[in-house]
Amino acid sequence: MVKKLVIGTRKSELAMIQTNWVKDELKEINPELEIEIVPMSTKGDKILDVALSKIGEKSLFTKELELALEARKVDVVVHSLKDLPTVLPDGMVIGAICEREDPSDAVVMKEEHRGKILHCLPAGSIVGTSSLRRTAQLQRRYPQLQFRSVRGNLNTRLRKLDQGGGEADFAAIVLAVAGVTRMGWADRISAILPPEDCMHAVGQGALAVECRADDMPILRLVSALSHRETKLGCVAERAFLRQLEGGCSVPVAARTRLHRHVLHLTGGVWSLDGTQEVRRTLAVPLPGHGGRDGDSNGAGDTKNGAAENGAEPAAKRRRTMSAGGERHFVGVWAPHEEHEELEVAEKLGIDVALMLLGMGAKPILDAAKAANTAPAPNDPPRPANAEGAGACPVAAGGAIPTAAAAVGATE
């Protein structure tokens, strides 16, 4: 029986909030458990003057934490799941994926634009984001705006928006809803972007607890924090990203939902300037729940979620095993009774990725990766078909609108 647990985490305020939430959840389940939190700095926390996509190294926010885990200085590490690569270091697994917050992206406006949405900003306004994924999708949707990189933790990015003195004079910045909400700043959100405007990053909104693969007492302890629907969706998303061999240097996004025992996954790939898009949706019934929900959103014909464009036979799919011989799913450990469902989720992610590759995603991904080995331009490329902003509905009564409320005129 585990009597004491040492948790590693990043030093940022958001990371500490998330880790203390995990601590509280574990204490509620195990009141006698002694828990110590050990904060650390990572390379990604220290390099703040270069866009993430240009740093050229994986595990920017996780490596130092994983070294401490390997050295047994800590027993587990709490991460934002979207920071964890789809291939973990040998001997490491994700022991729990906690219930997901809203995975959407949020628009936070400068004071003079409070209550507006992106469609309402004057042409040429500068919007800050640290993500190529957001930049590519939003340039496609809002070609009249400029999108620039903004680095730093949430506190720093908000300060750059409110006080200036950052990379540019930002009219707005785009952040993850989950992070803003966990920091207690939900009142700063002017709009929540719908998936038609901006699909979220793989794993966004979920917390992961990383463990040593051979530490079964710890794995059993933290597995109580896992949330079934979140785990199924995130396994599908991570399998999709791994099959594409994507990361923060390419614009890749995903969206999952579980409806009536059918798991749906939409995956998308964009060129850096947003002018090229490949997007597809597949759905599969979970084991024990027959029937076929099928391919949705006009995605074409499929059979039981199997992609027709070069899908691998099930027998040839890579099976990943932990150091102790335990099966895991894109780095996610689970008890045996969950394996059948998770295998279906993992296969769904692979199938969607194979479909996109068959539809021409590979040259788009290759071009994005090549561009990110070159020096970064001051401004991202602009689409050739830029248009004006059009009429501007304003949010009424201080409510948080979705961008769809105003963009309907341009669809």
Cα distance between residue 361 and residue 87, in whole Å? 21
User: Is 83 labeled as catalytic in the residue annotation?
Assistant: yes
State phi, psi for 233 to the nearest 5 degrees. Answer: -65, -45
Q: Which two tokens stand for residue 314?
A: 């099930």
The answer to whether residues 385 and 276 touch, using CB atoms and an 8 Å cutoff, is: no
Going by C-beta distance under 8 Å and a sequence separation of 6 or more, which residues neighbour residue 119?
A: 142, 389, 390, 392, 403, 406, 407, 410
pLDDT in tens, 400-409: 444 333 333 2
The answer to whether residues 181 and 192 touch, using CB atoms and an 8 Å cutoff, is: no
The active-site residue out of 24, 49, 83, 293 is 83
What residues pair up with 277 in beta bridges, in sequence order?
Answer: 270
**This model's pTM is above 0.85:** no
Which of 192, 190, 146 has its CA nearest to residue 170? 146
Radius of gyration of the chain (CA): 21
| Residues 223-253: b if buried by 16+ CB within 10 A, e if exposed | bebbbeebbbbbbbbbbbbbbbebbbbbbbb
User: Looking at residue 62, what is its pLDDT?
Assistant: 80
Compute the residue count for the chain. 411
DSSP H or E stretch at residue 97: strand 92-97
Q: Which two tokens stand for residue 30?
A: 């195990």
Beta strands in 137-247 (DSSP E): 146-149, 172-176, 189-192, 207-212
Asked if pLDDT for residue 255 goes beyond 80, the answer is yes
- pLDDT confidence bin for 199, thresholds 50/70/90: very high
DSSP H or E stretch at residue 315: none
**Averaging pLDDT over each range in 104-108, 395-399, 403-407, which range is the top one?**
104-108
Going by C-beta distance under 8 Å and a sequence separation of 6 or more, which residues neighbour residue 93?
A: 210, 211, 212, 213, 219, 322, 326, 328, 331, 332, 333
pLDDT in tens, 234-253: 999 999 999 998 777 789 99
pLDDT in tens, 24-75: 999 999 999 999 999 997 655 444 444 444 434 455 558 889 999 999 999 9
CA terminus-to-terminus distance, the chain: 58
State phi, psi for 309 to the nearest 5 degrees. Answer: -90, 80
Domains of the chain plus CATH, in order, are: 4-102+202-358 (3.40.190.10), 105-199+381-410 (3.40.190.10)
Which of 257, 237, 199, 206 has its CA nearest to residue 329? 237
Beta strands in 223-365 (DSSP E): 252-259, 262-270, 277-285, 320-321, 327-329, 332-333
Q: Report percent pLDDT > 90 for the chain.
A: 68
Q: What is the mean pLDDT of the chain?
A: 83
